[in-house]
Structure 1
Amino acid sequence: MPTVVLTGARVFNGDHVLEGQAVVLEGDTLRAVVPTAEVPSGATVHALPGDTLLAPGFVDVQVNGAGGVLFNDTPTVEAALAIASAMRRSGTTGLLPTFITDDATRMREACEAALEATAHPHSGVLGIHLEGPFISRERAGVHATGFIRAPDPRDLDYLTALPRRFAAHGGRVLMTLAPECVDDATLRRLSASGVVLSAGHTAATSERTAQALQAGVRGFTHLFNAMPPVLNRQPGPVTAALLHDDAWCGVIADGVHVHADNLRLLLKVKPPGKVFLVTDAMPPVGTPVTSFTLQGRTILRRHGRLETEDGTLAGADIDLTASVRHCVQILGVPLEEALRMASLHPAAFLGLQGHRGRVAPGHRADLVLLKEDLSVHTTWVGGQLQRAE
């Protein structure tokens, strides 16, 4: 297996920015980080620009679409692969294609397609995110309320068998649900099977949310959005997320979905590592298109927003590199932590921290090379290079 060495750039290994180090790749695995003077003889050396930063590739657990493709429209292997390819150009080397509330047959089609895509070498598809259909009608957002339902025995038999099937290819199954719409016994069954549970599109009380966290819910989907605000006598799911140190919080950092001060408060209150970035990206990301159709509704791209004609937000018009820039430039997050929020922390949320999110021996050779302005120069997925320009 040929050895490839990346040298010349600074290296962010997941903890610190290192100078004078080279990264050694063998196939799809990162074998070592060594001083530049100790590059193995006989290796193929790629000299990177000296003003760049080599970092772990980004992991996005919530991508509805990109590059003109919407997973709900075409729940196929080709669609999942196309979405991953489109997002790769902006530094995302691993993602979960996200399928929002829809009918049961199409949901299963999406799962089977994502499973096949996950099995493709170097696809960047890490599993599937089912956002619904077991959510609150009150907090549905743009989800079609006609498809919202309670889980039935057939659902549970299918869903609880999925994690083992995905795990055969290193994949994960993430499900967003409303705690008030699913009982504790069902939460425990799903969690015990390996489904990663996240609370979202919910109107649950803080008490019910706390119970669900004890029953297997692991985190929160786009915290603050599609859930009630904090009120003096009705604190709701947001307060539960803030109070429970073990709970993970995904957030959309685009300057549209959540006020900057709410994100600063979240980062101040939560223990280090428990807040991660998601995009909630939709088909326009990576394209010049100005509108698309979501389950029969026209979604407009205007003023940095994706919204229905009446102004309801419908996903986000952002990629993870732009999210990192927003964290650094607007929120004042240190660069190292902003990069972890886009790589190590979401990987840990999915239980993939031993393989992704660090530039360290034994990890996947999934990398992003960033310019000084924090735009993407190059990505590698499984050791395979793809230029962004």
Structure 2
Amino acid sequence: MKSIPFEALKRKNVKIILMKKTALIGGKIYTGNEIIEKKALLLDGGVIVGTVDDKDIPVGYQSLDVKGANICAGLVDLQLYGDGSDLYSAELSLASLERISNGLIDKGTTSYMMTLATNTIPVFKEAIRVAEDYHHDAFLGLHLEGPFLNAKKRGAHPEELIITPTKERIEDLLEGSQVVKMMTIAPECISDEVLRYLQTYQLLLSAGHSNATFAEGTHGYDAGIPTSTHLFNAMSPLHHREVGLVGAVFNHHRACSSIIVDGHHVSFEAVKIAKKQMGDRLFMITDAVAACNKGIYQHVLNDGYYALPDGTISGAAISLFEGIRNCVQQVGIPLDEAIRMSTTYPANLLGRSDIGNLNTGSMANVIVFTDDFKLEHVIFKGELRY
């Protein structure tokens, strides 16, 4: 068995295709279900083979020593708008999607949902048209955050572009599309009949930018809306007389929600409260944007977050990996649970068993990081990125 230390690979500073059969050794393995030590994680042809004792590594595998680091699945982000200097809604090109994909993978996010905030219908349609022709194993599809929201909770979304959902408008926007996989809607702004029609498109629906009462929010979850968009942000708050959508999320036995753990969109104490209330129903997103000075969303970087020129908070400036660090260091969530919040839970919402975990047969998307949260290595489909 040939052994190649990771440090030797890092110094080359190039993309390296792993040998067909590879064993990651010397680390703590977070599979998504359990924590495994003193075992090897086997990769073969871009797929997870399983874990074995170091002494039982099969013949023909090359061994890569991670020197005590943590090993977990690549991260899954269901809501982001761009990366680096690319805001997809402002670029609308295959080249920008490719740059975003590569930039995210190098930050440890190996699966992502490209999101578009409320925009004109022509921009939505062009974004869909371009994305239909983009094929990448990190790209999960498009998440349309709008236009069927509640203007009273619009946040950074232009009020004049928010519209009431009808069958005709849904058909005009979505008919023939295979790439739209997720949509944020305000449950109080859609009738039961129109909601049932929207559900025929087999999208992951999320309640957000909503001023729903507790009853309206609960009705939406009971009607089959499985999750919610950035808990606390742009939704009716928890009040002791009317607990709003936050209360509906907390009290519903099935409803999930994403949350932004950057310390700006939501305080760390609020994250702690939400985690105690929701347990495994709470997962992380970044809501990350990119600096942009054109189009509807002109994002300006402030101290740790992005805002519109008028000061309205408009997006995050963290990676999902940094969110894991914040969960552990600032909120007190155990590392294995923080990992699940950014891998297993969002993957489960999508019905994807091949990402977000290190189970046998899953895609060989793996990140390696130290106890002080230095991202050492990213493996994407069996390819060592660095």
The answer, yes or no, to whether TM exceeds 0.5 is yes
Q: Which residue of 1 aligns with 2:226?
A: 218
Question: Which shifted more, 71-80 or 363-372?
Answer: 71-80
For the residues of structure 2 that align with 1:335 and 1:2, how far apart are their CA atoms? 30
Q: Which residue of 1 aligns with 2:369?
A: 370
Q: Which residue of 1 aligns with 2:31?
A: 13
For the residues of structure 2 that align with 1:99 and 1:215, how far apart are their CA atoms? 25
TM-fit CA distance, 1:294: 5.9
Q: Which residue of 2 aligns with 1:129?
A: 143
Query: 3-state SS of the aligned residue for 1:138?
Result: helix
Q: Which residue of 1 aligns with 2:290?
A: 283
Q: Which runs of 5+ in 1 are unaligned?
A: 167-171, 285-291
Q: Percent identity?
A: 31
For the residues of structure 1 that align with 2:354 and 2:106, how far apart are their CA atoms? 21
Q: Which residue of 2 aligns with 1:288?
A: none
Q: Which residue of 2 aligns with 1:139?
A: 153
Match of 1:28 among 38, 41, 46: 46
Q: Which residue of 1 aligns with 2:76?
A: 59
Judge conservation of contact 1:133–1:149 (CA < 8 Å) in 2: yes
Q: Deviations over 1:38-63 (max 9, x none)?
A: 112122x2423212111011000001
Question: Which shifted more, 333-342 or 201-210?
Answer: 201-210
**Within 5 Å, which residues of 2 pair with 1:174-323?**
174-270=182-278, 272-284=279-291, 292-293=292-293, 295-296=295-296, 298-323=298-323
Alignment of 1:39 onto 2:53: no
Q: Which residue of 1 aligns with 2:16?
A: none
For the residues of structure 2 that align with 1:15 and 1:303, how far apart are their CA atoms? 36
TM-fit CA distance, 1:154: 4.2
Runs of 4+, deviation exceeding 3 Å? 152-155, 158-163, 294-298
Query: 3-state SS of the aligned residue for 2:299?
Result: strand
Q: Which residue of 2 aligns with 1:289?
A: none
Q: Deviations over 1:212-241 (max 9, x none)?
A: 112221111001001132223222110000
Q: Which residue of 1 aligns with 2:133?
A: 116
Alignment of 1:72 onto 2:72: no
Residue 29 and residue 162 in structure 1: after superposition, are their counterparts in 2 closer, same or farther (change >3 A)? Answer: farther
> How many residues matched?
368
The one-letter code sitting in structure 2 at the alignment partner of 1:278 is I
For the residues of structure 1 that align with 2:187 and 2:159, how far apart are their CA atoms? 17
For the residues of structure 2 that align with 1:22 and 1:5, how far apart are their CA atoms? 6
For the residues of structure 2 that align with 1:42 and 1:130, how far apart are their CA atoms? 46
The one-letter code sitting in structure 1 at the alignment partner of 2:84 is G
TM-fit CA distance, 1:99: 0.8
For the residues of structure 2 that align with 1:161 and 1:20, how far apart are their CA atoms? 51
For the residues of structure 1 that align with 2:176 and 2:343, how far apart are their CA atoms? 24
TM-fit CA distance, 1:158: 5.5
Judge conservation of contact 1:162–1:173 (CA < 8 Å) in 2: no
For the residues of structure 1 that align with 2:217 and 2:228, how far apart are their CA atoms? 10
Residue 113 and residue 385 in structure 1: after superposition, are their counterparts in 2 closer, same or farther (change >3 A)? Answer: farther
For the residues of structure 2 that align with 1:131 and 1:183, how far apart are their CA atoms? 18
TM-fit CA distance, 1:11: 1.1
Q: Deviations over 1:106-146 (max 9, x none)?
A: 212222333332x33x3x10111110000111111111222
Residue 243 and residue 179 in structure 1: after superposition, are their counterparts in 2 closer, same or farther (change >3 A)? Answer: same
For the residues of structure 2 that align with 1:83 and 1:349, how far apart are their CA atoms? 23
For the residues of structure 1 that align with 2:118 and 2:294, how far apart are their CA atoms? 11
TM-fit CA distance, 1:187: 1.7
Q: Which residue of 2 aligns with 1:343?
A: 343
Judge conservation of contact 1:367–1:380 (CA < 8 Å) in 2: yes
Question: Which shifted more, 146-155 or 24-33?
Answer: 146-155
Provide the alpha-carbon RMSD of the alignment: 1.9
Judge conservation of contact 1:96–1:125 (CA < 8 Å) in 2: yes
Judge conservation of contact 2:207–2:229 (CA < 8 Å) in 1: yes
The one-letter code sitting in structure 2 at the alignment partner of 1:249 is S
Residue 324 and residue 231 in structure 1: after superposition, are their counterparts in 2 closer, same or farther (change >3 A)? Answer: same
Alignment of 1:386 onto 2:347: no
Question: Which shifted more, 182-191 or 310-319?
Answer: 182-191
Q: Which runs of 5+ in 2 are unaligned?
A: 1-18
TM-fit CA distance, 1:152: 3.8
Q: Which residue of 2 aligns with 1:324?
A: 324
The one-letter code sitting in structure 2 at the alignment partner of 1:37 is K
Residue 60 and residue 283 in structure 1: after superposition, are their counterparts in 2 closer, same or farther (change >3 A)? Answer: same
The one-letter code sitting in structure 2 at the alignment partner of 1:3 is K
For the residues of structure 2 that align with 1:6 and 1:154, how far apart are their CA atoms? 53
Judge conservation of contact 2:167–2:197 (CA < 8 Å) in 1: no
